[in-house]
Amino acid sequence: MSHSEHARQWVHMGSAAFALLLRALTWWQAAACAAFALAFNAAALPRIGGRRLYRPADVVRGFPLGILLYPLSVLLLILILPSRLDIVAAAWGVLALGDGMATIVGEKAKQNISAFFGRSLPWNADKTVAGTVAFVAFGSLAGVALALWTRSSITPPPPVTFSIVAPIVAAICAALVETIPVRLDDNISVPFAAAAVLWLIALMSLEVWSASKAEVLRTLPWAVAFNTVVAWLGYRARTVSISGAVGGAVVGIVIYAAGGAAAWLFLFIAFLVAMVTSRLGLKRKMLLGIAEERGGRRGAGNAFANCGVAAIAAVCAVASPYASASMIALTAALTAGGSDTVASEIGKAWGRSTFLVTTFSRVKPGTPGAMSLEGTAAGIVAALALAALAAALALTPAGAIVAVVVAATAGALVESVLGATLEPAGILNNDMLNFINTAVAAAVAISIA
């Protein structure tokens, strides 16, 4: 590793010392300090650190972007979670030591690629086993330490078990996010992934889980049996790959066991709708070179991207006091995933007026971020049908149908904007866009309903 990279990482990790102040500051004082750090990094730090802080990409743009995104992420987390500065501190620790040590250890491990820990990850040749393990180890250590340090400043103080367990889970999830082969800056993806996990765990209640546990365990064998059979049939029907069968089974088991048979049936129908529309107009899609890869077979990434938010919502339904809101989120997420696939596939098959949502300029079908009048109309119809089905299955009240349709449409719009602007540059990939789509839909549905 170069001397400049060492300098960057030590500045990166050393900045976490400022997280100790979160124990004594109010949220607005913490936000002011983060804003000052942002201004300082923009105006003074490059002059102090000089070229030692520059990566090759920074040399091209003339400025080290990471030193701006770091304090900006901390500032945004403070503004989003003003009453939970312990979550901000823990996410900050995961970013600083987890990401920093992953880079240092990973670079050293590459010098001995024959060893197990020096090997690259199968899905990202730039990341090593050693770097990911270091991320989890040091990120967990820093996250736990800072969560415990700031715990006393929260009213009421979170349970000690939360301050110990939640940062470890957050570090593991953030480490996995960090290995996704995209150009999204780690100073954004890592802290927000860690904070999201910490916030979700903070919603959980041991009392609620204790009351739900018996029913979940009773349903679990049926969930495993049903999803194993469906996954095998899906693989035999060439709708999913091996990884897709495994990933889909895991998601299906969680949704069945936590959300119930009706939630699983809704998941299955949404998936079936997506599969059927993927086969429509296949000849035209193949001629245009925009047919689904692997013959339309879905992989594990697709399963988690489209159904991960729903699985999380199902867990919240049985482990948090917000069961009703969680089921609305589950319904909106699955509706968004299904209707978006319908819109995309119908647009590819029969779209005649495809345009970019950011510029309204005409583009070819299949262009990242493109929308068509035909596809959009089909997506709204699909969203309405799925939302009505969810109400019929008693997953959500009938009054939530409009909220779910609006939410699914909002998620699709956000995905199209990000697809048109960030996907071509490699900052986000299709799976990440699908996850964002379903997450936005879940959040909007809860806000409306």
Q: Which pLDDT does position 112 carry in this prediction?
A: 67
Distance CA 430, CA 216 (A): 33
Strands (E), 66-192: 120-121, 124-128
Average pLDDT score over the chain: 90
Domain stop point among 168, 203, 238: 203
Residues 197 and 214 in one domain: no
Q: Which pLDDT does position 48 carry in this prediction?
A: 75
Q: Is 395 helix (H, G, I), strand (E, B) or coil?
A: coil
Q: Which pLDDT does position 108 carry in this prediction?
A: 79
Q: How confident is the model at residue 51 (pLDDT cuts 50, 70, 90)?
A: low
Residues 307 and 275 in one domain: yes
Domain stop point among 150, 183, 203: 203
- Torsion sign across C-alpha atoms 312, 313, 314, 317: positive
Residues 191 and 221 in one domain: no
Could you report the per-residue pLDDT of 253-270, keeping only the tens digit for each?
A: 999 999 999 999 999 999
Q: What are phi and psi of 251, to 5 degrees?
A: -60, -45
Domain stop point among 203, 221, 247: 203
Residues 23 and 133 in one domain: yes
Residue 216 clears pLDDT 60, i.e. is over it = yes
Residues 103 and 228 in one domain: no
Residues 54 and 198 in one domain: yes
Residues 347 and 237 in one domain: yes
Residues 20 and 115 in one domain: yes
Of 335, 341, 331, 366, whose CA–CA distance to 274 is shortest? 341
Residues 189 and 230 in one domain: no
Q: Which pLDDT does position 282 carry in this prediction?
A: 58
Cα distances (angstroms) measured from residue 44 to each of 75, 185, 290: 18, 22, 48
Could you report the per-residue pLDDT of 387-403, keeping only the tens digit for each?
A: 999 999 999 999 999 99
Distance CA 284, CA 82 (A): 51
**Prediction pTM value:** 0.91
Residue 52 clears pLDDT 70, i.e. is over it = no
Q: How many domains, in total, are found in the chain?
A: 2
Residues 68 and 145 in one domain: yes
Q: Which pLDDT does position 234 carry in this prediction?
A: 87
Q: Which pLDDT does position 118 carry in this prediction?
A: 75
Distance CA 219, CA 422 (A): 41
Looking at per-residue pLDDT, the higher value among 151 and 360 belongs to 151
Domain boundaries, position 342: 207-448
Residue 116 clears pLDDT 80, i.e. is over it = no
Distance CA 116, CA 109 (A): 9
Mean pLDDT, to the nearest integer, of 101-122? 78
Residues 140 and 229 in one domain: no
- 340-349, 350-359, 404-413: range with lowest mean pLDDT: 350-359
